[in-house]
Amino acid sequence: MREGLKIQPIRSSCCVEESGRPVDAPVVYNPHTHVCCGGCVSEWKPRTHQFHGLPGQRCRAKVHLPHTEICCDGQRHLRQGNTHCCGVKAYNIKDPQMKCCAGTLHTVPIGREAQCCGSTLQTAPKQNVCCLSEDMEVLYSAKMGFGCCGHLYYNSSLWSCCAGTLSPAPQPGCHRREKVKESILLSLNNLNEEDLCDEMQIGTVDSVSLHGIAFNSVLTIHGRSAIVIPLASPHILQTPDHCSVPKLVLGKSYFFDKVNVFTDSNHDSILQSLHFIISKCYRPLLPPQFNLFLYA
């Protein structure tokens, strides 16, 4: 209001649309007797297949029991052991023959080495090369003298890659930059259990310079012991050459170790990623329960 902010009744003119209809107001409910699904409140009933809302309404959420069931993109599954979601499907993350690639669940052939390239399962890593960027992951047939620059597969005799950007290679007789060990953007999905469960960090990119990457809000993750320790900010990941740094998005969170930077295409949040890592790595001495210890 012109004379300042004031608390108004919920049915006042401030809460009316241009059409004259009242704007939907938040509803207060007792969680012991009612349940809220998709913005609709209804009486709680001990039935996991309960529907809410009337025909024509946008509320179509189902109720599930989180202790015995898991909900994957609206599909309900029984929770058994280390069950996690992969798109609409549920699978046991301890099963070596099951692999989730960007929301698509695959069965890994027995005795075959398999990695993810986007939603595709790559079963011949020596014959194919997966190039990864923030935008996409593309699978190419392996060729001599070619390399990845983000999701592009380029001829190193014609092009050079620096920090995820291609530029024409120097002509014969011109000074050529000494080749350095690449530190490309990698997928967390392709880490084996030993590397995944080893110590790693996660942080939000604050800046990228010639000398390294500055991360804020950094956590050190010890997956086997289910311990997460916050570090002082900023935390600098030193890089041997600025061209070896992958192209990163400022303000986005990434996993990293002493050399490489990883992205997680299977989970939508840091908490989901942490839950996956600790569920996969933790070896409890007592009957299994998920415990996450945060040390200040």
Structure tokens at 58: 């946008």
Structure tokens at 139: 């699978």
Concatenated DSSP letters of 83-125: EEEETTEEEETT-TTEEEETTEEEEPPTT---EEETTEEES-T
Give whole-number Cα distances, 105 to 29, 101, 132, in Å.
Answer: 38, 6, 19
Element (H, E) at 141: strand 137-141
- Amino acid 274: pLDDT: 92
Element (H, E) at 77: strand 75-78
- How many CB atoms are closer than 10 A to CB 193? 14
Apex 103 CA angle, 129 and 196, nearest 5: 65
265 vs 130: CA distance, rounded Å: 14
Backbone angles phi, psi at 138, to 5 degrees: -125, 135
By C-alpha distance, which of 91, 69, 73, 71 is closest to 82? 91
SS3 129: strand
Element (H, E) at 281: helix 270-281
In this prediction the pTM is 0.68
236 vs 69: CA distance, rounded Å: 41
Concatenated DSSP letters of 7-57: ---TTSGGGB-TTSPBPPPP----TTTEEEETTEEEE--S-TT-B-S-TTS
138 vs 183: CA distance, rounded Å: 18
280 vs 264: CA distance, rounded Å: 15
**Cβ-count burial of 122 within 10 angstroms (0-12 exposed, 13-18 middle, 19+ buried)?**
buried
DSSP β-bridge partners for residue 168: 159
- Amino acid 183: pLDDT: 46
- Amino acid 288: pLDDT: 47
Instruction: Verify cis geometry, omega within 30 degrees of 0, for the bond prior to 234.
Output: yes
Contact 117, 101 (CB under 8 A): yes
138 vs 148: CA distance, rounded Å: 10
- Per-residue model confidence as pLDDT tens for the chain (296 residues): 455 666 677 666 665 555 555 555 566 777 777 777 656 777 766 543 343 333 333 333 556 566 788 888 878 888 887 889 999 899 999 898 999 999 999 999 887 888 999 999 988 777 889 998 888 899 999 999 898 888 999 998 898 888 888 889 775 555 444 443 444 788 998 998 899 999 999 999 999 888 889 999 999 999 998 999 999 989 998 887 777 778 889 999 999 988 889 999 888 888 889 989 998 998 765 444 445 555 54
Kindly give, in sequence order, each residue whose CB lies less than 8 Å from that of residue 149, ignoring residues fewer than 6 positions away: 131, 159, 161, 164, 165, 166
Structure tokens at 258: 């002493």
